[in-house]
Amino acid sequence: MGKQIEPEITSRYRVGDIRHCTADISRARQLLGFFPAVDLDTGLAELAGWLSTQIAVDRVDSMNANLERRGLAL
């Protein structure tokens, strides 16, 4: 999308966060015969196209403060 954004890695997490997760649809394929209607590359291209029309508002600082105020950030 023509943006160069460095991630901010704080090594902190929210209470209840799932920290390590991967997608695997093999069981859905096996049991239900499920196959995605859109492949990953096409889906990502569609998502990038939609995202390029959106206006992002950075609320990271206020959301982090809110989590800390509620005791939900570790």
What pTM, to 2 d.p., does this model score? Answer: 0.55
In a domain? residue 54 = yes
Per the structure, the count of domains in the chain is 1
Range of the domain at 49: 26-69
Residue identified by tokens 């695997």 is 24
Instruction: Write the CB contacts of 72 (distance below 8 Å, at least 6 apart in sequence).
Output: 14, 15
> Tell me, what's the pLDDT at 51?
92
Is 39 inside any structural domain? yes
Task: Tell whether 55 is covered by a domain.
Answer: yes
Position 12 scores a pLDDT of 80
C-alpha–C-alpha distance, residues 55 and 39, integer Å: 26
User: How far is CA 35 from each of CA 19, 39, 41, 47, 59, rounded to the nearest angstrom?
Assistant: 27, 9, 15, 19, 37
Residue 15 belongs to some domain of the structure: no
Average pLDDT over residues 19-40: 92
Give the model's confidence band at 16: pLDDT under 50 very low, under 70 low, under 90 confident, else very high: confident
Integer Cα distance of 34 and 41 in angstroms:
18
